[in-house]
Amino acid sequence: MLSPLTKANLYLSLFGIFKVPLIWTCRPKLKSLDDDKVVVAMPLKRKNKNHLNSMYFGALAVGADVAGGFMAMSKAKQRGVPISLAFKGVQAEFLKRPEADVEFVCHDGKLIDEMLDTTMASGERVNQAVKITALCPSLHGDEPMAEFSLVLSVKAKFRD
């Protein structure tokens, strides 16, 4: 029997292969996922490095996308509610060069629950900013490498 985290990683890999190949190319893995927080690890590899041997900012954006979006997809799936999910805006601040594997952390589980409650009750699209912090724990511990604010947009899809 597969653990919930293993199932979630399998789903993430398949989603990357079939829906968003750039996610698959970057090879993110869920380290932890609970009601309040998700942690996504992304290895620093040749395909996501820049000319300074640090993680390319596009790969950092992929990691932030996965951390912010996967929790919403997972929570909607747990509720049995199909949703339309997109990101409508992004703000990023790059603080230090991540020169090793990066972890993306999002603590907005309660906010995402509220968004899902609202869209399920109203049928309307709901937009809220979720915060993601990129860390490079092997080199800098809990010091942020980058901070993202992504405007998550969700809408419940009701079937007739």
Which residue range is the domain that position 122 belongs to? 31-156
Other CB atoms within a 10 A radius of the CB of residue 158 amount to 10
What's the pTM value of the predicted model, to 2 decimals?
A: 0.94
Structural domain contains residue 58: yes
State the Cα–Cα distance between residues 135 and 72, nearest whole angstrom: 21
Supply the pLDDT for residue 36: 96
Q: Is residue 60 a contact partner of residue 102, using CB atoms and an 8 Å limit?
A: yes
CATH number at residue 66: 3.10.129.10
Overall number of domains in the chain: 1
Structural domain contains residue 16: no
Q: Is residue 44 a contact partner of residue 50, using CB atoms and an 8 Å limit?
A: no
Supply the pLDDT for residue 82: 93
Structural domain contains residue 6: no
Structural domain contains residue 15: no
Structural domain contains residue 60: yes
State the Cα–Cα distance between residues 152 and 133, nearest whole angstrom: 15
Structural domain contains residue 119: yes
Structural domain contains residue 3: no
Supply the pLDDT for residue 159: 57
Per-10-residue mean pLDDT for the chain, 160 residues long?
A: 93 94 96 96 96 95 96 93 94 96 98 96 96 97 97 84
Choose among 79, 68, 78, 82: nearest CA to 123. Answer: 82
Structural domain contains residue 47: yes
